[in-house]
Structure 1
């Protein structure tokens, strides 16, 4: 599905693109552009599933408060089956690499700050949740319905991935913890750092509406992800969860800790399935194989 990018820029930004600085064309597409009036902007286009307006409204509020996120330049516009908007460019900074406990604590501080701010943002829930975190779907079967994945040979997905995913999802669905707004793609690839401090947090299209503990748990397992993704060591997830609670000024209940540890596996399980269906090296799959037992134990998930 495509759209006329130059015409869209002229209509909604008042200037035409003269150079393409960046592009990523996938399920969601991102274009970094220099406009004729000298501005550098990013234009994002994704399938219009009804989530974009809530995500962009939250992003705009946080940017107004001075949080390190790009400021939206347009509302969400609807072009055919796409939701399209533009946001400012925040150049510079570098990726903070590593998955050690000390790095985990730095990421946990940023996530705690974002979650505290998002707790005061009132927007309609951005549903459905992003596909890699959509353990709460109402589709038939274990995995959320994703046509381009479902059409592939499912028998290549390792049986241990399926079994662990069934146990994790069953535990997550059993919780009655309230849902909150949170960033569901909190990964190293989406943050930039400068002089030891976070400079920019990107990918606000990936907000979700799930229990806080599930959002924190997912981030605790995925914070170090730079393609190809994997799963951080158990002790680094533990450091992330401990630091997050300290920064938020409250301890999780036993229920919250169980949900956090369960959710720490789900993104890796989604990625392990992806790897198998695409014939990619099993980085996430191997990590799940080696770590699942300990993470399930901490989640108090029995067979």
Structure 2
């Protein structure tokens, strides 16, 4: 990307908050947020993130900063969150190196679960204002009317495109989670393969701290157990891989889930896939996870007592 194509505000923002201007663009990504990898004139590489200011970013960046200070493998924030018009913006260090760990087998699930347990342990010691509302792909706890959280860009589309089994699965899983009444904790709600980088056998960097959520631990673990293989379109791993993830997480945390927590974890494993299939259906994309959810929903709902 040519440097002249950067947003008008970005160079001045870097000068004001980082003390230097960008000289080169290393990468640019855009999804829920805009992410710019920049090389400053002094030669330092940084990442600048900008997202719609919904009030969540400050808590997320504070948690990320505390984890980095305590030695957790994540990028260290270089600035607090700064408002730029309707955007919330911050900068963080650029951590080079590492590759995604691909696969959805039980042995891969165990490796991800061990990192997630380490992450949740690190977050448990932080006193952070809950980053609400929760990210929409795990916002089963919303108070909006209807099954899904209200998102105008999705709600205005033809809902008949969403398969009936997806609606039924999401409804039953959500009702089970809402009935539990478990306490909420801080956790990572986008624990997907593309958000982690590994070197040899060790995780080097966990990304996407914008996606922290405030939900029951079992729900956060259940969601992670279903999305850990995701590199692009929606996926759902084999049931035995979710089993391995849940068992390894509990072993690493040295505590066993109660029977109800086990059920909530299984219910939560269904919501991200249902959300993703709905999104794909409403946008006319082929749902990669559709067959997985179709094949596994009944068993996952049985284990959830839903």
User: Taking structure 2 as the reference length, what is the TM-score of the superposition?
Assistant: 0.97
Is residue 271 of structure 2 the alignment partner of residue 295 of structure 1?
A: no
Q: How many angstroms apart in 2 are the aligned matches of 1:22 and 1:53?
A: 24
Is residue 127 of structure 2 the alignment partner of residue 122 of structure 1?
A: yes
Is residue 89 of structure 2 the alignment partner of residue 84 of structure 1?
A: yes
Q: 1:44 aligns with which of 29, 43, 49?
A: 49
Helix, strand or coil for the counterpart of 1:68?
A: coil
- Preserved CA contact (<8 Å) 1:3 1:79: no
Counterpart of 2:239 in structure 1 is: 234
Q: What's the offset of the Cα at 1:195? A: 1.6
Counterpart of 1:164 in structure 2 is: 169
The worse-fitting range, judged by mean Cα deviation, of 252-261 and 224-233 is: 224-233
User: Taking structure 1 as the reference length, what is the TM-score of the superposition?
Assistant: 0.97
The 5 A counterparts of 1:1-303 are 4-301=9-306
How many corresponding residue pairs? 300
- Preserved CA contact (<8 Å) 1:21 1:31: yes
Superposed CA RMSD: 0.9
Q: How many angstroms apart in 1 are the aligned matches of 2:156 and 2:150?
A: 10
Q: What's the offset of the Cα at 1:198? A: 0.3
Q: What's the offset of the Cα at 1:3? A: 5.7
Helix, strand or coil for the counterpart of 1:173?
A: helix
Q: What's the offset of the Cα at 1:27? A: 3.0
Structure 1 gap segments, 5+ residues each: none
Q: Deviations over 1:22-67 (max 9, x none)?
A: 1112331111111111111111011101000100000000000111
After the TM superposition, list the runs of 4 or more consecutive aligned residues in structure 1 that deviate by more than 4 angstroms: none
- Preserved CA contact (<8 Å) 2:234 2:287: no
Q: How many angstroms apart in 2 are the aligned matches of 1:112 and 1:27?
A: 26
Structure 2 gap segments, 5+ residues each: 1-6
Helix, strand or coil for the counterpart of 1:283?
A: coil
